[in-house]
Amino acid sequence: MDAMATPAMPDFAAWSRGVQSRMETALARVLPDAAIAPETLHAAMRYATLGGGKRIRPMLAFAAGEAVGADPARVEYAACAVELIHVYSLTHDDLPCMDDDDLRRGKPTCHVQFDEATALLVGDALQSLAFEVLADPAACSDAATQVAMLAHLALASGSRGMAGGQAADLAATGKSLELTELEFMHIHKTGALIQAAVLLGAMAGGALSASGRACLERYAHCVGLAFQVMDDVLDTETDTATLGKTAGKDAAQGKATYLTQMSAKEARTYARELIDDALAAITMFGAAGQRLADIARFIIDRRY
Amino acid sequence: MDAMATPAMPDFAAWSRGVQSRMETALARVLPDAAIAPETLHAAMRYATLGGGKRIRPMLAFAAGEAVGADPARVEYAACAVELIHVYSLTHDDLPCMDDDDLRRGKPTCHVQFDEATALLVGDALQSLAFEVLADPAACSDAATQVAMLAHLALASGSRGMAGGQAADLAATGKSLELTELEFMHIHKTGALIQAAVLLGAMAGGALSASGRACLERYAHCVGLAFQVMDDVLDTETDTATLGKTAGKDAAQGKATYLTQMSAKEARTYARELIDDALAAITMFGAAGQRLADIARFIIDRRY
């Protein structure tokens, strides 16, 4: 923990628990009840989504909303939508034809707890639900901005965003990548949705100024990369029980990571430089950008 | 072919070829080029989507647009969005953990031509692309109606629509269903997206009147069920080469179909009654409803 981060941390810890608690309630509300047919699918959607997760993307959405003065009641829709896309991607990534993982957030993965066909449909239906939630009339005060939010989430999720990054990741397995190729993959696989969390959280308050948008994009770009760098460090240095998912899996599967490019010490230094860039990008928001700054610092200080 | 249908059919055949041709061009434009990274994913998305398909859902969208006087240039976005959802669902339904089929539209299915992981991502990315296309500012003149269109497509695609119907279908395999249970499944699995095609095609022209919406919903409900009844009849009576997909598969997999409930003759009679209901529902549109009527008649006269 660095000297700058220390004063804000206790307050941030309480704030982040507040977001996690709020998200649990909000997600439980937008997910169909397990008593509604088809019951197994709804139970599996709730299993995959509720009761765990760091909720980093919702935190980013609420923090970005705070930076521009958006109503948190509106931001909540964007936060749910982005988290539902994230959970769908985890559910599909864990399938046998992809990463074939059996542990996620400390629980059996969805296809282990239910079956493959159900896990496939869970991911499909969670993606639909994300757009349904973001298309709620209450998600933004301005319909034209809301259409732009929906377009942005779709672009960030699809073949030129997250799904494209996943395809690039699969194609790269067992190959050595240049650092630029590795970053291209991460900018798509995790960066696109992190950027969507930040931008949609802010757009919930209405159309963004060009300068506000540019600053938030820069922040999101740096935070997204730093998050991935630290994920690779933690995947190597942390045990499975602490992570809540299988540790050391990337290296075992021959996947390119930052630690095939640099030492863990160099990776931590690189992550810190990225976070400094992220913090510089949000100075225009002044004190309102405090939560964005807190999250940036949390990303390099986290243990799991 | 019945007496009513005969005069309109030649004209309808030309019109439907026109829609198919227009859709091939429009879909080729909205799908990312196969030269754009990730190249394999984009090539597979184009493989799954282009060069085939009856394009029934786009026909319904254009016909509904015509009934209410919507600009076809706007309707095209809705037509593409609905067809992309349809192709994503076919791609996932064909996967080994679902129906495990290797032939679709006369070609090897996506996971046979590429691999399972790619086919999974193709479906995921096509769903995202559907929402991206429908969120294009040109898709509707009125942003608030466009948000409602996006919400409707999401609901129709998700766990209380198409994906939910697929889950019900899986759960019903090998079991005998009551007719009401069978219809519940079909109303979700195919009916929801057919209704979305009709409603979104009309909404592309702006908000619908309550009576217009109710008539279109009734039409779509009847046409959707008749389509499924005839699918079951054709699956039994037609050979694989004519269908372009594996014939007799439902019965072989122990799936409930209309022909486990009634004879083929009774099923054809039931489909005709549904089509009569559909035609009665659209009388308010007068001559502008001609294409909707043509499609309804085509569904019971088709051979594949």
CB contact under 8 A, A120 and B120: yes
CB contact under 8 A, A38 and B143: no
Which residue is it, tokens 């923990």?
A: A1
Measured CA to CA in angstroms, residue A183 lies from A216, A258, B126, B151, B212 at distances of: 19, 9, 24, 34, 51
Does residue B241 or residue A197 have the better pLDDT? A197
Optimal mutation site among A97, A173, A185, interface B, most CBs of chain B within 10 A? A97
Q: Which residues in B lie closer than 8 A to residue A163 (C-beta atoms)?
A: 41, 121, 124-125, 128
> Looking at residue A304, what is its pLDDT?
61
Residue B46's CB is within 10 A of a number of other CB atoms, namely 17
Q: Which residues in A lie closer than 8 A to residue B128 (C-beta atoms)?
A: 127, 154-155, 157-159, 161, 163
State the pLDDT confidence band at B189, using cuts at 50, 70 and 90: very high
Mean pLDDT to the nearest integer, B165-173: 90
**Closest chain B residue by Cα to residue A161:** B125
CB contact under 8 A, B120 and A98: yes
> Looking at residue B87, what is its pLDDT?
98
Q: Which residues in A lie closer than 8 A to residue B143 (C-beta atoms)?
A: 143-144, 146-147
- pLDDT per position in chain A (304 positions), as tens? 444 444 444 599 999 999 999 999 999 999 999 999 999 999 999 999 999 889 999 999 999 999 999 999 999 999 999 999 999 999 999 999 999 999 998 899 999 999 999 999 999 999 999 999 999 999 999 999 999 999 999 999 999 999 999 999 988 887 888 888 888 898 999 999 999 999 999 999 999 999 999 999 999 999 999 999 998 898 888 776 666 767 667 766 777 788 888 999 999 999 999 999 999 999 999 999 999 999 999 998 876 6
Considering only the beta carbons, identify the residue of A97, A115, A147 that sits closest to B135: A147
- Signed CA dihedral, B242, B247, B248, B250: sign only: negative
Average pLDDT, whole number, for chain B? 91
Q: How many interchain CB pairs under 8 A, A with B?
A: 166
- Beta strand A103-104 with A107-108 is antiparallel
| Least reliable range by pLDDT among A271-285, B93-107, B244-258 | B244-258
Measure B250 CA to nearest chain A CA, in Å.
Answer: 17
Q: Which tokens belong to A118? A: 């159900």
Which residue is it, tokens 């389509």?
A: B227
Measure B280 CA to nearest chain A CA, in Å.
Answer: 31
Q: Which residues in A lie closer than 8 A to residue B121 (C-beta atoms)?
A: 159, 163, 166-167, 170
Q: What architecture is domain B6-301?
A: Orthogonal Bundle (1.10)
Q: At what angle do helices B116-134 and A162-172 cross, to 10 degrees?
A: 160
> Looking at residue A247, what is its pLDDT?
65
pTM, two decimal places: 0.93
**Closest chain B residue by Cα to residue A94:** B117
CB contact under 8 A, B121 and A45: no
> Looking at residue B37, what is its pLDDT?
92
> Looking at residue B237, what is its pLDDT?
80
Separation between Cα atoms, residue B105 and residue B251, nearest integer Å:
20
Separation between Cα atoms, residue B66 and residue B60, nearest integer Å:
10
A107 by DSSP, 3-state: which?
Answer: strand
Measure A79 CA to nearest chain B CA, in Å.
Answer: 17
CB contact under 8 A, B135 and A154: yes
CB contact under 8 A, B147 and A131: no
3-class SS string, chain B? CCCCCHHHHHHHHHHHHHHHHHHHHHHHHHCCCCCCCCHHHHHHHHHHHCCCCCCHHHHHHHHHHHHHCCCHHHHHHHHHHHHHHHHHHHHHHCCCCCCCCCEECCEECHHHHCCHHHHHHHHHHHHHHHHHHHCCHHHCCCHHHHHHHHHHHHHHHCCCCHHHHHHHHHHHCCCCCCHHHHHHHHHHHHHHHHHHHHHHHHHCCCCCCHHHHHHHHHHHHHHHHHHHHHHHHHHHHCCHHHHCCCCCHHHHCCCCCHHHCCCHHHHHHHHHHHHHHHHHHCHHHHHHHHHHHHHHHHHHHCCC
Domain ranges of chain B: 6-301
Q: Which tokens belong to B70? A: 């919507």
Q: Are A304 and A234 in contact (CB under 8 A)?
A: yes
Q: Which residues in A lie closer than 8 A to residue B136 (C-beta atoms)?
A: 151
Measure A142 CA to nearest chain B CA, in Å.
Answer: 9
Q: Which residues in A lie closer than 8 A to residue B45 (C-beta atoms)?
A: 159
Mean pLDDT to the nearest integer, B66-75: 98
State the pLDDT confidence band at B261, using cuts at 50, 70 and 90: confident
Separation between Cα atoms, residue B108 and residue B87, nearest integer Å:
14
Measure A7 CA to nearest chain B CA, in Å.
Answer: 41
Considering only the beta carbons, identify the residue of B98, B128, B160 that sits closest to A163: B128
Q: Which residues in B lie closer than 8 A to residue A46 (C-beta atoms)?
A: none
Q: At a CB cut-off of 8 Å and minimum separation 6, what does A59 contact?
A: A16, A19, A291, A295
CB contact under 8 A, A38 and B120: no
Measure B110 CA to nearest chain A CA, in Å.
Answer: 14
Measured CA to CA in angstroms, residue A177 lies from B16, B61, B232 at distances of: 48, 46, 50
